[in-house]
Structure 1
Amino acid sequence: MKLATILIDGTSRAARVEGETYTALAAADVRELLEDPSWRTKAQEPGERYTAAEIRLAPVVPAPGKVVCVGLNYRTHILEMGRDLPEYPTLFAKFADTLIGAHDDIVLPPESGSVDWEAELCVVIGATVRRATTEQAAAAIAGFTVLNDVSMRDWQFRTREWLQGKNFEASTPIGPVLVTPDELPGDVRPALTVTTVVDGEEMQRADTGDLVFDPVALVEYVSTMITLRPGDVIATGTPGGVGHARKPPRYLTAGSEVVTTIEHIGSLENTVRSES
Structure 2
Amino acid sequence: MALTLVHYTDGKTAGWGVVFDRRLAPLAAGALTTGELIDQHWDDIWTKTPNDASIALSSVKLLSPVTRNQQFICQGTNYASHVRESGMDPKSISFNTIFTKASSSIVAADEPVARPAHVAMLDYEIELGLVMRRSIPAGTQVKPDELHKWLAGLVIVNDLSARDIQLPQVQFYKGKSYRGFGPVGPYLLLPTAAEWKRWPDLHMRLAVNGQTRQDAYGREMIYQPAPTLTELAQLQDLFAGDLIATGTPAGCAARAPSKAVMFIFRHFVSDAGKWKLFIKKNAANPAYLRPGDQISATIRTDDGVLDLGEQTTKIVHP
Task: Using structure 1 for the length normalisation, give the TM-score.
Answer: 0.91
Letter aligned with residue 35 of structure 1: D
Letter aligned with residue 308 of structure 2: I
CA contact (8 A) 1:138 1:216 kept: no
Greater CA drift, 43-52 or 229-238: 43-52
Greater CA drift, 246-255 or 153-162: 246-255
SS at match of 1:176: coil
SS at match of 1:268: strand
The equivalences for 1:93-242 within 5 A come to 93-130=100-137, 131-135=139-143, 138-182=148-192, 187=197, 189-242=199-252
Deviation of 1:4 (Å):
1.2
CA pair 196-151 structure 1, distance change in 2 beyond 3 A: same
The equivalences for 1:2-17 within 5 A come to 2-17=4-19
2:310 aligns with 267
Residue in structure 2 matching 1:75, options 70, 76, 80: 80
Letter aligned with residue 114 of structure 2: V
2:36 aligns with 32
Greater CA drift, 12-21 or 113-122: 12-21
Give 5+ residue unaligned stretches, structure 1.
Answer: none
2: distance between equivalents of 1:21 and 1:48?
5
Give 5+ residue unaligned stretches, structure 2.
Answer: 257-281, 301-306
2: distance between equivalents of 1:85 and 1:15?
44
Deviation of 1:24 (Å):
1.6
**Highest CA radius of gyration, 1 or 2?**
2
2:66 aligns with 61
Deviation of 1:12 (Å):
1.6
| 1:56-101: CA deviation from partner (whole Å, max 9, x where unpaired) | 1111112242100011111344356451252221111111110100
Letter aligned with residue 78 of structure 2: N
SS at match of 1:238: coil
CA contact (8 A) 2:112 2:314 kept: yes
Greater CA drift, 66-75 or 189-198: 189-198
CA contact (8 A) 2:132 2:242 kept: yes
The answer to whether 1:92 aligns with 2:99 is: yes
Letter aligned with residue 44 of structure 1: T
CA pair 145-152 structure 1, distance change in 2 beyond 3 A: same
**What RMSD in Å do the two structures reach over aligned CA positions?**
2.2
2: distance between equivalents of 1:192 and 1:184?
14
CA contact (8 A) 2:109 2:184 kept: yes
2: distance between equivalents of 1:144 and 1:225?
22
Higher helix share: 2
Deviation of 1:199 (Å):
0.4
Deviation of 1:181 (Å):
2.8
> What is the percentage of aligned positions where both structures have the same residue?
24
Deviation of 1:189 (Å):
4.0
Deviation of 1:179 (Å):
1.1
CA pair 10-219 structure 1, distance change in 2 beyond 3 A: farther
Task: Using structure 2 for the length normalisation, give the TM-score.
Answer: 0.79
